[in-house]
Every structure is written in C-alpha cells, then in structure tokens.
Amino acid sequence: MDSDICQVTIVDRQRIASAENQLPDPPVLAEVAATFKLLGDPTRLKILHALAAEELCVCDLAALLAVSISAVSHQLRLLRGQGVVRFRREGKIVYYQLDDDHIRQVMADMRAHIESCRR
C-alpha cells in the first residue's frame, strides 16, 4: 500500500521542539499571512509588477490593466495601507511606485519558482 501518511503514530518530541523553536511568533505569522493574501489577488500582482518596472499614475495603470480608475484606486489604497507602494504628486497627477524591495524579491522568486516547476 503506497500512502502519503504514516502507518504508525510515533511522536518525536525532539523534532517537534526543534520545529517549534523555528516558528515565528503569532503576530508575525499573521502579518506574513496578510502579506501573502495581499499578493494573492491577480489585479494587485499586475499592479505590483507594473510598478516594479515603472512609476505610473492611476490612469496609466487603469489603461494598462483595462480596468476602471476606481478599481485601480481601490487596489492602490490596499497596497499603500500595507506600505508596499508609495506615491508622489506632480501638479494634478499622482504617480505610484513600488516601495518595498522585499516584495520585489518575493515576486521574482515566485516567478522563478513557477518557471522551474514548468521544466
């Protein structure tokens, strides 16, 4: 019988203690989960990839993604609230850019992971 679960129940307290010592504190885990949830939306990911390449205004992003300005603004508010993007005003235009190199690296790592899994 080929099964992916143990056929007996044996608890290795030493391994459990070692693994437990590596777990982040619950508040940190909650923040990590919230960040992955933030990155889990395809529209937000497109926005982040675009902003990683180029500083863009809301109108540019809406045109690029073929969605409404309101939809882009909503997503940018969420991303700004988590400190992932920042903006600057130039006259009547507000430009956004990616403001977190860790997010840039996570996106690059995930893309590399997906590409390596396809081989």
**Which residue from 15, 73, 20, 11 is spatially nearest to 47, judged by alpha carbons?**
73
9 inside domain = no
41 inside domain = yes
DSSP bridge pairs for 56 = 96
64 inside domain = yes
Write the CATH number for 77: 1.10.10.10
20 inside domain = no
Q: How confident is the model over 78-116, as pLDDT tens digits? A: 999 999 999 999 999 999 999 999 999 999 999 999 999
Look up residue 6 and give its DSSP letter: -
Tell me the residue range of the domain where 40 lies: 25-118
Total count of domains within the chain: 1
35 inside domain = yes
**In angstroms, rounded to a whole number, what is the distance separating the alpha carbons of residues 67 and 79?**
17
Residue 83 falls in which region: left (phi positive, over 0), alpha (psi -120 to 50) or beta: left
- Composition of the chain by helix, strand, coil, percent to 5: 60, 10, 25
Q: How confident is the model over 64-74, as pLDDT tens digits? A: 999 999 999 99
